[in-house]
């Protein structure tokens, strides 16, 4: 007897940089979704959490960080870029915390992970133009964000932080400038390898054609989700939004997705759009495999800040178009996934996507 399908399933796709191992990353993302009334000074209660298990919605997590970083997972408290850093409540200042580990220029590579640069001889003029222009736009967005954010009192010497448990300190809200710069360079590099389908060779010798591999992983999860549920919701963050759009628009046989949600997405950047246009099209357009497309952005998020709104960029198709939703979060680094997951507008749209009344 065929097993009865659930009503909804949700597929999540993470963003750039090194990540914890898959199960730990899933735990963090679920924590970000499930906590009630997070950051009430920013998002007024009631702002209840969403427990997908309670809602009866299977959750799948498309994990791709290993393509670049192998099993070099975030494992301890000095590498908290997404584990403790993205699973805790903001403190007003770093000064109130006693130092246990230092975050320095030297440790920024460890925190975000090292991406091998391409062989210069293999980079075409078009690829060089993409890398330069994309990185410059992200850097300009970061500079504009910094100019609009409240200034914090600088501390002399090394920046030190301490966090040992979720809920203690949101380091990702207070990233030092050098780490922001490293992350922006990483965003450009990972987008380059994906959009131009370059072969990436890890230090351990494993090789991947990046676009082919990441498309395959997302397709596998979407097909799995479609087999489990009548309707599929796709929630993507950061560089994961590029993969999500590409698969929905450009991969044959992609299952229908009821709702496509993008968070902190660089899909507004012209250089990214140029590499995602469907064959024969003059501009990017709405992916018909998505019933709805909700794009949620913080204008001070540097990864999306260069052009955070998409409705005027992606040509409507059959009356469908992108819905842009502005939702600011907090801190001096606005790209953090659990900040987006705390947002009441995001939660409203996700809840509606899985048939839940809000709030």
For the chain, the domains span 6-353
Interhelix angle 125-148/177-195, nearest 10 degrees? 150
pLDDT band at 103 (very low <50, low <70, confident <90, very high): very low
Query: Cα angle vertex 298, ends 293, 301, to 5°?
Result: 115
Coil, helix or strand for 147?
Answer: helix
The pLDDT of residue 155? 47
Of residues 134, 80, 138, the one with CA closest to residue 108: 80
- The first and second tokens of residue 353, run together, are 């996507």
The pLDDT of residue 277? 97
The pLDDT of residue 181? 82
Peptide bond into 359 cis (omega under 30): yes
Other CB atoms within 10 Å distance of the CB of residue 74 = 26
Main-chain dihedrals φ then ψ at residue 261, nearest 5 degrees: -115, 125
Kindly report, residue by residue over 288-304, the tens digit of the pLDDT: 999 999 999 999 999 99
Question: In angstroms, rounded to a whole number, what is the distance separating the alpha carbons of residues 349 and 359?
Answer: 11
The pLDDT of residue 75? 62
pLDDT band at 118 (very low <50, low <70, confident <90, very high): confident
Whether residue 176 has pLDDT greater than 90: no
List the single range of 73-87, 180-194, 214-228 with lowest mean pLDDT.
73-87
The pLDDT of residue 101? 33
Positive or negative: CA dihedral 296, 300, 305, 311: positive
List the single range of 88-92, 146-150, 239-243 with lowest mean pLDDT.
88-92
Peptide bond into 309 cis (omega under 30): no
Kindly report, residue by residue over 79-89, the tens digit of the pLDDT: 333 334 333 33
Kindly report, residue by residue over 289-348, the tens digit of the pLDDT: 999 999 999 999 999 999 999 999 999 999 999 999 999 999 888 999 999 999 999 999
The pLDDT of residue 34? 97
Mean of the per-residue pLDDT values for the chain? 85
Complete DSSP assignment for 260-311: EEEES--TTSHHHHHTTPPTT-SS-B--TTEEEEEEEE-TT-TTTTTS---T
Question: In angstroms, rounded to a whole number, what is the distance separating the alpha carbons of residues 39 and 36?
Answer: 9
Measure Cα distances from 181 to 171, 188, 267, 297, 303 in Å. Answer: 16, 11, 20, 20, 11
Write down the pTM of the prediction. Answer: 0.87
pLDDT band at 113 (very low <50, low <70, confident <90, very high): low
Kindly report, residue by residue over 18-68, the tens digit of the pLDDT: 899 999 999 999 999 999 999 999 999 999 999 999 999 999 999 999 999
- The first and second tokens of residue 84, run together, are 């403790």
Complete DSSP assignment for 193-232: HHHTT-EEE-TTS-EEEHHHHHHHHHHHHHHHHHHHEEEE
The pLDDT of residue 62? 99
Of residues 118, 40, 105, 109, the one with CA closest to residue 81: 109
- The first and second tokens of residue 208, run together, are 């991947």
Whether residue 263 has pLDDT greater than 60: yes
Main-chain dihedrals φ then ψ at residue 187, nearest 5 degrees: -60, -45
List the single range of 133-142, 153-162, 209-218 with lowest mean pLDDT.
153-162
């Amino acid at each position: 007897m065929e097993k009865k399908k659930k009503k909804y399933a949700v597929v999540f796709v993470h963003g750039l940089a090194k990540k914890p191992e898959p199960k730990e990353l899933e735990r963090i993302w679920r924590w970000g979704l499930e906590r009630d009334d997070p950051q009430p000074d920013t998002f007024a209660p009631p702002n209840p959490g969403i427990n997908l298990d309670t809602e009866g919605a299977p959750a799948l997590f498309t994990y791709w960080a290993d393509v670049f970083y192998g099993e070099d997972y975030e494992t301890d408290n000095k590498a908290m870029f997404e584990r403790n850093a993205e699973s805790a409540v903001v403190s007003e200042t770093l000064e109130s915390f006693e130092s246990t580990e230092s975050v320095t220029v030297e440790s920024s590579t460890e925190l975000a992970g090292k991406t091998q640069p391409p062989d210069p001889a293999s980079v075409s003029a078009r690829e060089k133009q993409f890398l330069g222009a994309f990185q410059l736009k992200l850097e300009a967005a970061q500079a504009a964000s910094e100019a609009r954010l409240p200034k914090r009192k600088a501390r002399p010497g090394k920046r030190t932080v301490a966090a040992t448990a979720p809920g203690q300190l949101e380091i990702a809200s207070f990233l030092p400038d050098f780490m922001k710069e490293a992350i922006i360079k990483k965003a450009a590099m990972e987008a380059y390898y994906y959009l131009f389908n370059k072969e990436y060779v890890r230090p351990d010798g494993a090789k991947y054609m990046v676009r082919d591999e990441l498309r395959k992983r997302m397709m596998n999860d979407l097909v799995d989700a479609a087999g489990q549920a009548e309707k599929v919701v796709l929630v993507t963050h950061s560089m994961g939004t590029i993969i999500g759009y590409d698969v929905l628009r450009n991969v044959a046989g992609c299952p229908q997705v009821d709702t496509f949600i993008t968070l902190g997405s660089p899909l507004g950047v012209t250089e990214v759009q140029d590499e995602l246009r469907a064959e024969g099209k003059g501009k990017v357009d709405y992916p018909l495999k998505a019933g709805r497309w909700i794009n949620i952005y913080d204008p001070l998020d540097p990864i999306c800040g260069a052009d955070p709104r998409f409705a005027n960029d992606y040509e409507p198709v059959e009356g469908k178009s992108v819905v842009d939703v502005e939702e600011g979060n907090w801190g001096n680094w606005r790209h953090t996934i659990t900040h987006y997951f705390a947002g009441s507008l995001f939660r409203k749209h996700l809840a509606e996507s899985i048939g839940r009344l809000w709030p």
